[in-house]
C-alpha cells in the first residue's frame, strides 16, 4: 500500500438517468484533475426517482451504469466505486439488488456487494421508506478486496452504517479503507450521519470514504449531503457540505500504522 489521493463525490441525482451520468462524469474528471486515484460515487448515482420507476427501468439503469463505470475507469485510469445501483433479479421482476461495484483502471470488476440491510423506516419528518418493497436484500456480508497499491478495501452501502457488526466483519479481514456510499435522508442525516461515520472509522481504525447524495431529488425526497473522508483517528479530512461537488484527501499508510500503534484496540478484542 502506498499513499494516494482518494475522492468522494456528492451528487443530487434525479430521475433522469442520462443527465445523472453526464454530471457524474464531470465530477469524476474534476476529481482526477485533483490527483484522485480512486473515486467513489454515491448510492443511486445513476438514478434517484420513484421506486416503481426504478424497477421499471432497472435493466436500462444496470446496463448503462455498468458501461459507464468501466468506461470512466479506463478513460481516466483510476479505480472507481459505483456506490449502488439496481441489478434486476431474474426470479422476481418486481425487485432488484442494490449493488456496489469496484472497478479497476482496466475496466475490470474487482468485487461487488449487494446491500444486506434495507431501509424500512417511518422517519419522524413524515416520510416513509420501504426499501424492501423493491429491493432484494443481499445474502452475504461484503468481502475485503486486497489491493497491493490501495490497501484492503471494504464495501458497504448507506443504511449499513448503523450496523457495526458488518464493519467488524471487514476489520477482521484487515480492512484499511471502508467505503460507505449513501443517499442518507435529510432528517436523520443532520443528527446521525457524521457521528456514525466517525464511529466506524474510530472503532475499526480505518479510513472512511463516504460519497453522498444531497438536496431535493423528486417530490419530498431530500438527502443530507456532507460527503466525507475521515481518517482512522476519526478526524474529518474533508466535508462536501450541502452542494454537489467532490472532496479529496490523502490515504496514508503511515498514518494508518501510527493510529493503530497509538490505539491498538483491534488487538485487545475479547469477543472477536
Query: Mean pLDDT per 10-residue run, the chain (272 residues)?
Result: 97 98 98 98 97 94 98 98 95 94 98 97 88 95 96 98 98 97 97 98 98 96 97 98 98 98 94 78
- At residue 199, the pLDDT reads 98
Host domain of residue 23? 4-267
- Active-site residue, from 23, 37, 64, 158: 158
- At residue 271, the pLDDT reads 84
Does residue 272 lie within any of the structural domains? no
- At residue 127, the pLDDT reads 85
Q: Where are the alpha helices (DSSP H) in the chain?
A: 17-33, 51-56, 58-76, 164-171, 186-204, 253-262
- At residue 115, the pLDDT reads 98
Active site residue 115: yes
DSSP symbols for 195-243: HHHHHHHHHHT-EEEE-EEEEEEETTEEEE---EEE-TTS-EEEE-TTS
- At residue 125, the pLDDT reads 84
Q: Residue 72 maps to which CATH number?
A: 3.60.110.10
- At residue 19, the pLDDT reads 98
In the numeric block, which cell numbers belong to residue 231?
A: 481518517
In the numeric block, which cell numbers belong to residue 250?
A: 490523502
Does residue 51 lie within any of the structural domains? yes
How many domains, in total, are found in the chain? 1
- Active-site residue, from 43, 54, 70, 206: 43
- Active-site residue, from 23, 64, 115, 206: 115
- At residue 126, the pLDDT reads 80
Active site residue 190: no
Amino acid at each position: 500500500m502506498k499513499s494516494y489521493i482518494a475522492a468522494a463525490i456528492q451528487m443530487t441525482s434525479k430521475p433522469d438517468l442520462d443527465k445523472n451520468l453526464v454530471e457524474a462524469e464531470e465530477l469524476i474528471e474534476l476529481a482526477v484533475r485533483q490527483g484522485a486515484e480512486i473515486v467513489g460515487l454515491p448510492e443511486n448515482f445513476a438514478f434517484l426517482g420513484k421506486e416503481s420507476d426504478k424497477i421499471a427501468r432497472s435493466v436500462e439503469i444496470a446496463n448503462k451504469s455498468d458501461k459507464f463505470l468501466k468506461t470512466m475507469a479506463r478513460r481516466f485510469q483510476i479505480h472507481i466505486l459505483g456506490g449502488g445501483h439496481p441489478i434486476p433479479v431474474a426470479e422476481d421482476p418486481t425487485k432488484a439488488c442494490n449493488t456496489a461495484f469496484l472497478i479497476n483502471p482496466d475496466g475490470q470488476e474487482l468485487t461487488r456487494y449487494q446491500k444486506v440491510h434495507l431501509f424500512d423506516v417511518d422517519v419522524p419528518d413524515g416520510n416513509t421508506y420501504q426499501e424492501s418493497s423493491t429491493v432484494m436484500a443481499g445474502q452475504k456480508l461484503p468481502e475485503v478486496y486486497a489491493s497491493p497499491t490501495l490497501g484492503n478495501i471494504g464495501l458497504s452501502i448507506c443504511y449499513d452504517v448503523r450496523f457495526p457488526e458488518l464493519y467488524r466483519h471487514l476489520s477482521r479481514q484487515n480492512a484499511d479503507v471502508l467505503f460507505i456510499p449513501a443517499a442518507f435522508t435529510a432528517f436523520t442525516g443532520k443528527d446521525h450521519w457524521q457521528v456514525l461515520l466517525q464511529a466506524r472509522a474510530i472503532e475499526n481504525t480505518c479510513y472512511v470514504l463516504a460519497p453522498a447524495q444531497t438536496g431535493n431529488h423528486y417530490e419530498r425526497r431530500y438527502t443530507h449531503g456532507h460527503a466525507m473522508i475521515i481518517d482512522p483517528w476519526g478526524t474529518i479530512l474533508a466535508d462536501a457540505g450541502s452542494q454537489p461537488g467532490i472532496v479529496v484527501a490523502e490515504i496514508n499508510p503511515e498514518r494508518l500504522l501510527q493510529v493503530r500503534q497509538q490505539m491498538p484496540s483491534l488487538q485487545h478484542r475479547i469477543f472477536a
